[in-house]
Amino acid sequence: QVRVASEGINGTVGGSKVATSLYIEIMLSQPLFKDILSREDFKSSAGGAHCFPDLRVGVFKEIVPMGIDPKMVSYKETGIHLSPQEFHREVEQYLSQASQGQSNTILLDCRNFYESKIGHFQGCLAPDIRKFSYFPSYVDENLELFKDKRVLMYCTGGIRCEKGSAYLRSKAVCREVYQLKGGIHKYLEEFPDGFYRGKLFVFDDRYAICSNEDIISACRYCGTLWDQYKFCSSQHCRQLVLTCPSCCNKGLTACCPLCQEKELKVTSRASGQTLKEECECTRRRPRVPIERVLQRTLDAGK
């Protein structure tokens, strides 16, 4: 899966260790990427060719759709990049200060709510947003929260932080903005049992990868610990839902009562594509939540 934009290229490939190693060597040897691409830009995780059954290449205005014209907020004006080791030390210090109520730092997860739900850094602030394109509005509605704060930002592979940190910096309210270089992927390569707990959500057939045994989320119906997503059984909805095997066996496989009770049939556009996000829980979810207090994140860190 490859995304191409004027900002750069983002790709994910699956295969054997030998095949992917060869792929990396060939990419590094390309004159087009000389002085731009380095070995540390590549991230590895458990998977295989079966995770990517076909080749998909798309050309987009943005590598990740934040909805802000790159000419208005330059991706080159990012936060300060921290290596996994530096980020680990920063988080350690943040948690220590936060437990004493002395922190002037915000540990910000800029991913979507369903990603942070199954895995996140301890003590983080995880916005309840459905899409990354909601992130700018989230920042705008919560500027007072970020005022005069040091912000430690992270995402899956570091790409959303390139955009998100630039937008946050453009507001000129934070003392400093830092971001985890290489994202959670790189962090877990060096600290598989560090301050990130739970699974890491990925946008392919794996859904999630894990580095530790912690389960931090629960079944939507019975509340038992569970962190393996399935699509809502109402195909017109296609939202992800956490429902354990026991509840699945009872027929509880939808994301909300509307989908579950009516057993909605598939509705398609003229193009034949399935409609998405047309259910009760999506309509009721606030597009841009306002963070009124930070205490809940500090409590989570404890």
Number of domains in the chain: 3
pTM of the full predicted structure?
Answer: 0.83
Residue where one domain finishes, among candidates 167, 191, 209? 209
204 and 222 belong to one structural domain: no
Task: Flag whether 189 is in a domain.
Answer: yes
Task: Flag whether 72 is in a domain.
Answer: no
11 and 32 belong to one structural domain: yes
Retrieve residue 248's tokens: 């699945």
Task: Flag whether 302 is in a domain.
Answer: no
The pLDDT value given to residue 283: 67
94 and 192 belong to one structural domain: yes
The pLDDT value given to residue 282: 67
The C-alpha atoms of residue 202 and residue 115 are separated, in whole angstroms, by 8
12 and 123 belong to one structural domain: no
Active site residues: 155
The C-alpha atoms of residue 286 and residue 289 are separated, in whole angstroms, by 6
39 and 146 belong to one structural domain: no
Task: Flag whether 95 is in a domain.
Answer: yes
| 83, 90 contact by CB (below 8 A) | no
Query: Domain containing 7: what range?
Result: 2-59
The C-alpha atoms of residue 98 and residue 105 are separated, in whole angstroms, by 8
The pLDDT value given to residue 89: 97
| List of residues 6+ apart from 169 with CB closer than 8 A | 77, 78, 79, 177
130 and 42 belong to one structural domain: no
The pLDDT value given to residue 295: 47
The pLDDT value given to residue 72: 81
Q: Are strands 105-109 and 150-154 parallel, antiparallel or unpaired?
A: parallel
Task: Flag whether 161 is in a domain.
Answer: yes
Task: Flag whether 232 is in a domain.
Answer: yes
The pLDDT value given to residue 65: 87
Q: Phi first, then psi: what are they for 264, rounded to 5°? A: -55, 140
Closest of 131, 2, 143 to residue 67, by C-alpha: 131
Amino acid symbol at 153: M
196 and 235 belong to one structural domain: no
Q: What is the pLDDT along the chain (302 residues), one digit of tens a residue?
A: 899 988 888 888 889 999 999 999 999 999 988 888 888 889 888 888 888 888 999 999 888 888 887 778 877 889 999 999 999 999 999 999 988 777 899 999 999 999 999 999 999 999 999 899 999 999 999 999 999 999 999 999 999 999 999 999 999 999 999 999 999 999 999 999 999 999 999 887 777 888 788 999 999 999 999 999 988 887 777 788 999 999 999 989 888 887 877 654 544 444 555 555 557 676 666 677 777 655 444 454 44
Task: Flag whether 295 is in a domain.
Answer: no
Amino acid symbol at 217: S
34 and 120 belong to one structural domain: no
